[in-house]
Structure 1
Amino acid sequence: MTLASAAPKSTMQRFLDGVEKVGNMVPHPVIIFLILIGIVIALSAVLSLFGTAVTFERINPETHEIEIASTAIRSLLNVEGIRFMYASLIPNFMGFTAVGLMIVAMIGAGVAEESGLVTALIRKLVIVSPGWALTYILAFVGILASIAADAGYLVLIPLAGIAYLAVGRHPLAGLALGFAAVAGAFTVNMLIKPLDAVLVEFTNDAAHLVDPNRSIGLASNVWFSFASVLFLTVIIAFITDRIVSPRLGPYNPALAAEGTTTEQGAVLSSEESRGLRYAGLGLLALIAVFSLLTVPSWAPLRDPTTGDLIGNSPFMNGLIALIMLMFLVTGWAYGIGAGTMRTLTEVIAAIEKSIKNLGGTIFLFFVLSQFVAYFTYTNMGTVMALSLSGVLQSANIGALPLLLGFIVVVAIIDLLLTGAIAKWAIFAPVFVPLLMKLGVEPEAVLAAYRVGDSPMNAITPLNAYFALVVGFAQKYDKSAGVGTVVSLMLPYVLWMFVLWTALFAIWKMLGLPWGV
């Protein structure tokens, strides 16, 4: 990747350039994960031979009761391991939810992009937004995109790149901004989302070990989350404008991969304006339909038992379908209004084109799904997490240092185990009771977990969507690779982790309420 800048580079910029250069020397991501699979297979056999194991308390995901469990390293080179690798090849891939989410989201996104709706919307946003506010708007919307679970990766990140391109800024800076917002702040939001329900339930199960009458609610971290969203919006925007964009310099369209559109008009044509009006009408019609499906107490998309709309309801569990339909309906409506996509045949062609472009990514996900499955099967991540938490638990330190140490441990483990729910099922029964005995409320422990679990998502290659972001980057710079993305995201990860942890510490010391 060629980085142009007239001013002398700072020490940080030279360091990041070095990270990028070294990172881009590594092989293709598929080759990397094939090597990692070989390492996991060999290491599992060695550790299993030495009988590596740990005993711990955990929350049973089905019964939500605390149980004593023992986890040992499982070998992939014994009879059971070889059977697992042979028989689970297809189940591993089919169970990799990122693939299904990506394909479904691209059904709608492909229509929206091919019809011209995405470009027109971004240009409209650029026209109506003050230049200084665009970065903050994208960062804020990116953080809120976690309400749609993983769909934010597939929608907001590429849109941020297009938006930056439309205003003459480097599109890789937009991609980095979007990735930092969606991944680096994934556990906080201004809205209650399905993840909150699971985390709170596990927290209550752990708290009952100390006090059976002590429970927290879904909004137990709402004030801290509100503050975190605004705080992280400013941090992400500041890093983008002051560190990432200056390092990248002006964008050279010649770097783009073949077929990538790099020219954007400054003013919307009458056809484009009419298309946006049609898209707005299509969106209103979709909202009307979903209002009937969600608002009434008898609505089919509400929880059949509790009647709740937010939480573990059909509406929230199937939110990717709404995202897909939103782009599909508005994209086609825009195409009809703008004259770019009138027939159903053209819509189908746009969907086929978007799915064809995912070929390389789907193959990468196939290899990645095998690595994740093998790594999970061996229990190496669990053993490491429990070993680190055991060291921290036995440390004779105060409540706040223990909370800060807990944040660091969660961040380290997040490089290997990216699932927020799986880690909390392990950590909750250890740290919630321990800290409650030191006078720390369970709300604070959960807030600490949110801080530790998020920033590293933007830098670990084990994030299922990391490779997808590399693919997005290669559209605008065909020489971009893993090192490019890592060097772009390092400033975000470091500053978000340090400053967000500082916000947590100040919040705790001031005794501010964590939520309702």
Structure 2
Amino acid sequence: MIAETVRPVRQRGLLGFIERVGNYLPDPTIIFIYLIVALMLLSALGAALGWTASLPFSGTNAPANAEIENGMLTYRASSLFSAENIARLFTEMPRTYANFAPLGIVLTIMMGVAVAERSGLFFALIRGSLRNTPRRYMAPIIAVVGMVSHHAADAAYVVLIPMAAVLFASVGRHPLAGIAAALAAVSGGYAGNIMPGQLDVLLFSFTQEAARIVEPGWTMNPLGNWYFILGIVIVFTPIIWFLTDKVVEPRLGTWDEEIDDQLRADLEKGALGDDERRGLRHAGIAALLVVAGFAALCLWPGYTPFIDQNAEGPIRLQPLYASIIAALFILFLLTGTVFGRAVGIIKGSADVIEMMREGVKTIAPYLVFVFFAAHFVAMFNWSGIGPIIAISGAEKLQGMNLPAPLLLVCVLLMSSVLDLFIGSATAKWSVLSSVVVPMLMLLGISPEMTTAAYRMGDSYTNIMTPLMSYFPLVLVFCQRWDKSIGVGSLLALMLPYALCFMAAGIAMTVGWVAFDLPLGPGAQVFYDIPGHTAP
């Protein structure tokens, strides 16, 4: 049973080291409190030693924390203990929190997602996608569904992974192979998807704050990684298919046990009822109407609110990119509502409002975390330490003459190592982005490409660490079919996927830069900062 408590086996060697170190790490919120204290001390040291950094600058308007001197844009370290910064910290505390870009974005998206999730739409989509799957094509279909199901947040772990095991067992295939394929897609392929969603918006909101350290006018494009994340699906799906069918399942041996009553009951749960099928049809129509409505606002003759007629090139579409957040909110809200009405879960507007409230309640820990993250990012900017580190780091990297692909592989590997100890993608990126995004911007690499490299590194190591938050739950799913499975067994089962994903991810990142492929609509690998010259 899922509710059963699992006491993980204590590991030795590298896995044991990772497990022990990870257990000593505090909550991400506490980590940010420590970072704020360390930043304040560092800023005082920098101000006392007179730390500065300069860039050639041909613009006219300097950022608030810099000065223009003889054609150079100069940043100076400012002590966060100064009277001005202490006053700013306390007088602007509510504004610093409320104006933090990720906060409003996440709240907006989650209110829509909450309706789609609590109405049962996401669960029905996952079950409907896998129902009647041909035996031969189970692995690739589970791979695609697993990566698409990231829009359903945690539903993929709770629904898709155990259901994959049931489907494999029902056709005489080993259920642990089904769990392995699903976990590889859901967790190891976390960066992949067919369409951008709330994860893209959340990560890019941190990217935007970091990019504005050196270019205050930089605005995020939620579609900035669309082609890249789609490429991950295309690359990872055949890897999951091959490894599941040719490597993992043969090692597990044949599965010839009888299907018991519990398994038959689980299979019946996977079947969609008439109401759910009708609800999915209604949700599909609603989704098409949302897409058509936004397309009309771009193409209607004489009335194009989402097109900037005074701009040229990709910038003309900036209003459309900015509207993606609202579009996702409306899409999830409307499709979830019509599905809920069809299945009888939603009987009136009060039910929708209650679902939205419950959605906000579930992210209460995030609201606490963001309070400290917002102040860390703001204080990082006030101190001038961010651009000084970025400019100094960029100068050193330029002196080493490292090619752009190698720089991004370094970001990818840094992300993957940190992911072994800290599971939260947003917690890591909220810290890393403040340094690596502006540093690589100064070397001509776009914020979108840096974000893509980070996402790749943060993805495949999810299945290499027992510290992943859903690892104990997956272990329970495995032990239903084989009581002898322990932490080490599950890690060994997933290791081929992780190693192949790592090799493919590095190769894909290098290839994307080498061929200068577009990352998404209006998003390129390389980037020039207006008014700046590379150090």
Equivalent position of 2:287 in the other structure: 283
What is the CA distance between 1:422 and its match in structure 2? 8.5
Name the CA distance, whole Å, in 1 between partners of 2:305 and 2:52: 44
Aligned to 2:399: 394
After superposition, the C-alpha distances for 1:464-494 in whole angstroms (9 at most, x for unaligned) are xxxxx9888899899xxxxxxxx99999998
For each residue in 1:402-426, what CA deviation from the matched residue of structure 2 results, as whole angstroms up to 9, or x when unmatched? 3344335655898677687995655
Q: Which residue of 1 aligns with 2:144?
A: 137
Q: Which runs of structure 2 are paired with 1:178-197 in the superposition (5 Å)? A: 178=186, 181=189, 183=191
Match of 2:424 in 1: none
2:80 is matched with 76
Query: 5+ residue gaps in structure 2?
Result: 166-175, 216-222, 252-265, 416-427, 462-466, 477-490, 519-523, 525-535
1:279 shift after superposition: 2.0
The code of the aligned residue for 1:82 comes to: I
Mapped partners of 2:495, 2:242: distance in 1: 14
- Give the TM-score of the pair, scaled to structure 1: 0.64
Could you tell me how far apart the structure 1 residues matched to 2:33 and 2:89 are?
Answer: 14
Correspondence for 1:403: 404
State the shift of 1:123 in Å. Answer: 0.6
State the one-letter code of the partner of 1:167.
Answer: A
DSSP-derived class of the 1:303 partner: coil
1:357-436 matched pairs, under 5 angstroms = 357-395=362-400, 401-408=402-409, 410=411, 426-430=439-443
Conservation of the 8 A alpha-carbon contact between 1:224 and 1:447: no
Residue 132 of structure 1 deviates from its aligned partner by 0.1
Going from structure 1 to structure 2, the CA distance change for 1:408 and 1:287 (only over 3 Å counts) comes to closer
RMSD: 5.4
Deviation track 1:74-120 (CA, whole Å, cap 9, x = no partner) reads 21112122122212311221122222122111222221222211111
Contact 2:62 2:73 in 1 (8 A): no
Q: Which residue is 2:278 aligned to?
A: 274
Query: What 5-or-longer segments of structure 1 have no aligned partner?
Result: 143-151, 207-218, 247-261, 433-444, 461-468, 479-486
CA–CA distance in 2 between the matches of 1:23 and 1:423?
24
Aligned position for 2:533: none
CA–CA distance in 2 between the matches of 1:61 and 1:134?
A: 54
Q: Report the Cα distance in structure 2 between the residues aligned to 1:223 and 1:387, rounded to whole angstroms.
A: 32
Distance 1:232 1:270 in 2: 34
* Compared CA separation, residues 181 and 174, structure 1 to 2 (3 A): same
Match of 1:43 in 2: 42
Give the letter aligned to residue 373 of structure 2: L
User: SS of 1:393's equivalent?
Assistant: helix
1:85 aligns with 2:89: yes
Tell whether the 8 Å contact from 1:139 to 1:233 is kept in structure 2 after alignment: no
Using the alignment, how far apart are the partners of 2:56 and 2:496 within structure 1? 36
Structure 2 match to 1:345: 350
Tell me if the contact between 1:184 and 1:456 (Cα under 8 Å) persists in the aligned partners: no
Equivalent residue number for residue 465 of structure 1? none
Relative distance call for 1:139 and 1:290 in structure 2 (3 A) is same
The structure-2 alpha-carbon separation of the partners of 1:228 and 1:335, relative to structure 1 and needing over 3 Å to count, comes to: closer
Q: Given the alignment, which residue of 156, 162, 167 partners 1:160? A: 156
Contact residue 105 and residue 320 of structure 1 kept, 8 A: yes
Q: By how many angstroms is 1:507 displaced? A: 7.6
Secondary structure at 1:277 match in 2: helix
Q: Deviations over 1:28-85 (max 9, x none)?
A: 2222221222121122212322222222346869799996222232211121221222
Measure how far apart 1:175 and its partner are: 7.7
CA contact (8 A) 2:114 2:355 kept: yes
How has the CA–CA distance of structure 1 residues 360 and 370 changed in structure 2, closer, same or farther, with 3 Å as cutoff? same
For the residues of structure 1 that align with 2:125 and 2:361, how far apart are their CA atoms? 24
AA matched with 2:156 = A
Whichever residue aligns with residue 402 of structure 1, its letter is P
- Do 1:276 and 1:334's aligned partners in 2 also have CA atoms closer than 8 Å? yes
Q: Aligned pair in 2 of structure 1 residues 429, 360: CA closer, same or farther (>3 Å)?
A: closer
Distance 1:298 1:334, change over 3 A: same
Please tell me the residue identity of whatever aligns with 2:127.
R
Change (3 A) 1:172 1:264: farther
Report the Cα distance in structure 2 between the residues aligned to 1:473 and 1:402, rounded to whole angstroms. Answer: 37
Partner of 2:484: none
The answer to whether the 8 A contact 2:187-2:459 is kept is: yes
- Counterparts of 1:477 and 1:458, CA distance in 2: 19
User: Structure 1 residues 394 and 314, CA, compared in 2 at 3 Å: closer, same or farther?
Assistant: closer
**1:391 offset after TM fit, Å?**
2.0
Shift of 1:347: 1.3
Is 1:265–2:269 an aligned residue pair? Answer: yes
Q: 2:115, 2:356 within 8 Å by CA — same for their partners in 1?
A: yes
C-alpha distance in structure 1 between counterparts of 2:382 and 2:113, whole Å: 35
- Provide the C-alpha distance between the structure 1 equivalents of 2:375 and 2:231, rounded to a whole number of angstroms: 39
Relative distance call for 1:412 and 1:227 in structure 2 (3 A) is: closer
Note the alpha carbon deviations across 1:177-218, whole angstroms, 9 max, x for none. Answer: 5566455899x99xxx9x8xx99xx9xxx9xxxxxxxxxxxx
DSSP-derived class of the 1:304 partner: coil
Structure 1 residues 44 and 494: alpha-carbon distance in aligned structure 2, compared to 1, 3 A threshold: farther
| Residue pair 2:109, 2:329 contacting (<8 A) in 1 also | yes
What is the correspondence of 1:224-243 to structure 2 with a 5 Å cutoff?
Answer: 230-231=234-235
Q: Does 1:321 align with 2:317?
A: no
Q: Tell me which residue corresponds to 1:27.
A: 26
The residue identity in structure 1 corresponding to 2:109 is: A
C-alpha distance 263-30 of structure 1, shift in aligned 2 (>3 A): farther
Amino acid at match of 2:27: H
Contact 1:389 1:409 (C-alpha < 8 Å) held by counterparts: no
Q: Cα offset for 1:3?
A: 7.4
Read off the aligned partner of 1:331 and give its amino acid letter.
G
Is 1:455 the equivalent of 2:452? no
Amino acid of the residue matched to residue 382 of structure 1? P
Contact 2:8 2:472 in 1 (8 A): no
Contact 2:181/2:240 (8 A) holds in 1 = no
Q: State the alpha-carbon separation in 1 of the partners of residues 460 and 95 from structure 2.
A: 27
Q: What residue number does 2:307 align with?
A: 303
